[in-house]
Structure 1
Amino acid sequence: MAVSSLGYLRLESTDTTKWKTFGADFLGLMPVENAETETLTFRMDDHPARIAVAPGAQDRMTALGLEVIDERELARLAKAVEKTGIKVAAGTPEECAERNVSGFVKFNDPGGNPVELYWGAVLNHVPVRTPLVSRFVTGDQGFGHAIVSAEDARSAFDFYVETLGFIERNTMKSPGGTTWFMGCNPRHHTLGITPAPGPGRLLHFMVEGADLDDVGLALDRAQRMEVPMMHSLGKHTNDRMVSFYVWSPENYAVEFGWQGLQVPEPTPVYEITDGAFWGHHFTPPPQPAG
């Protein structure tokens, strides 16, 4: 037993108003209104919130939320993390209520990325409404995947595999070093670790539509709304996903994809020498005005 999926991302943003448009009108997520907090929350299925964006003094990820199967598994993994020398803290009842989970622990991974392991999501039985997207591919695959950085990416990779039970899927070498892609369920990869100087940070996340038309319609929305493009439409070599990327309001790389590869059985690890079979042509992030 180990981590079962990427459950949620919690972010802070210096301009949450941009996320209202980006999350709902572009990505097609369902916003959840809450008069008691300034935090924006977005659903894509019966999970209470897959993305939460709170006002903050800087743009940053405050939690990579990883789901585990039950309370006993959470306790086992928390002890395993503590044995590596990492300090682990339990979420307070108020924090659990804010996340709509039964329990969680929090810590920083070896790269400095804030991680929360949780169990017992309090499901929202109000039917999710995503009129811009036929359906998001979630369920036992979680909400998608994320790529984070670490100065010592190898140590962070070892931690996720040896302590949290992730499975190595593939690697890719670049001038900056090796990126590791890891899975924890049938989705080809749930998490990637890439080397970068400084404290660990969120670089990229992906959502997957159930139909190719979901990708095409999102591409049309991006053009119509002038959402800055990062990678043009293309097909990946590792997970075979057809997708495109845009820059989020904070310049995270956000991928909207379709028909990612599923890996239900153990397979040999491999290295890719190019990220795409075709497409995915790069455009640098927009520069701040002035």
Structure 2
Amino acid sequence: MPIHSLGYVRLDSTDLEAWKTFAGDFLGLMPVADEEDESLRYRMDDYPARLVVSRGSESKMTALGLEVLNERDMRRIASEVASTGIKVVEGTDAESDQRRVTGFVRFDDPGGNPIELFYGPILDHVPVRLPTVSAFVTGDMGMGHVIVTGENGRALKEFYTDVLGFYERNTMGGRDRTVWFLSSNDRHHTIGVTSAPGPGRLIHLMLEGASLDDVGLALDRAEKLGIPLMNTLGKHTNDHMVSFYVYSPERYAIEFGFDGLRVEGEQPTYEITEGAFWGHKFTPPPA
């Protein structure tokens, strides 16, 4: 598999104070200080910060970091991306140091989503200390999963499978509103892609706790902190994740889950007609 896992997500936000409450107090990620700028950096395991939120003039995703095994794989994949006509730019040493990686390249996928392929995370060997979560499920499955959009969802799917080598797991939504769930490892899905008007954007991020208690306690924190609920506790039909969803400060759909399926290698794909076995009752975003 050319891509190892989802390594990090970088965001711009107009409200860093809201993210301090959301990422630290609610999600239970470990804040990491950095004297270079005022960006918020959060660890969830032995890797460097996997979520970075910087102050920006508008709220948007600035990088979806996909980890590869080594420099050789990064350059090989970058060459394949460039062969499709997509411009690939190598990150500078200073940018790599800021991300705490040995090296990376950046490009936009066919939907316009900013992608970074990186290798060699720089470990500081300081144990992660999570304030309210026992542990997150990461390791060989990476940070979690995301869903992104583009004007042409099928073109996105073909790019991630044909060029980046992702497995197809399943679809939902029928022929007119298809969502493709794709994976680069044994997590049921690493990324989902679908069509939506306008430039590509992040619409969903999932983090997986190590226990059902982690989910229940996070649900309690959401109520205590006034984090708006998007979907009630439920169990998905595709990855069997027991989870709930909330709205982030920018109205991203943030899922906090437990016990998602591990799927070994490539398996036959399938269509789901219901998103949940039970629960996941939807609530519109607050006005």
**Per-residue deviation at 1:195?**
1.1
Alignment of 1:227-238 (within 5 A): 227-238=227-238
- Give CA deviations for 1:40-59 in whole Å, capped at 9, x if unaligned: 10000011111000000111
Q: Which amino acid aligns with 2:254?
A: V
- Give CA deviations for 1:203-229 in whole Å, capped at 9, x if unaligned: 000000000000000000001111000
Equivalent residues of 1:170, 1:238 under 8 A apart: yes
| Structure 1 residue 52 corresponds to structure 2 residue 48 | no
Counterpart in the other structure of 2:151: 151
The count of corresponding residues between Structure 1 and Structure 2 is 287
Counterpart in the other structure of 1:66: 66
Q: Which runs of 5+ in 2 are unaligned?
A: none
**Per-residue deviation at 1:12?**
0.1
Equivalent residues of 2:6, 2:143 under 8 A apart: yes
Task: Give the RMSD, CA atoms, in angstroms.
Answer: 0.9
Counterpart in the other structure of 1:22: 22
Question: Which sits farther off after the overlay, 27-36 or 107-116?
Answer: 27-36
Percent identity between the two aligned chains: 61
| Structure 1 residue 129 corresponds to structure 2 residue 129 | yes
- Give CA deviations for 1:218-277 in whole Å, capped at 9, x if unaligned: 000001111000000000000000000000000000000000000013211000001000
Alignment of 1:1-290 (within 5 A): 1-173=1-173, 177-287=177-287
> SS at the partner of 1:177?
coil
Structure 2 CA distance for aligned equivalents of residues 68 and 274 of structure 1: 33
Q: Which amino acid aligns with 2:286?
A: P
Structure 1 CA distance for aligned equivalents of residues 227 and 125 of structure 2: 32
**Per-residue deviation at 1:178?**
0.5
**Per-residue deviation at 1:177?**
1.3
**Per-residue deviation at 1:176?**
5.5
Structure 2 CA distance for aligned equivalents of residues 200 and 152 of structure 1: 9
- Give CA deviations for 1:104-156 in whole Å, capped at 9, x if unaligned: 00000000000000000001311100131111000000010000001100001
**Per-residue deviation at 1:174?**
5.2
Structure 2 CA distance for aligned equivalents of residues 175 and 23 of structure 1: 36
Q: Which runs of 5+ in 1 are unaligned?
A: none
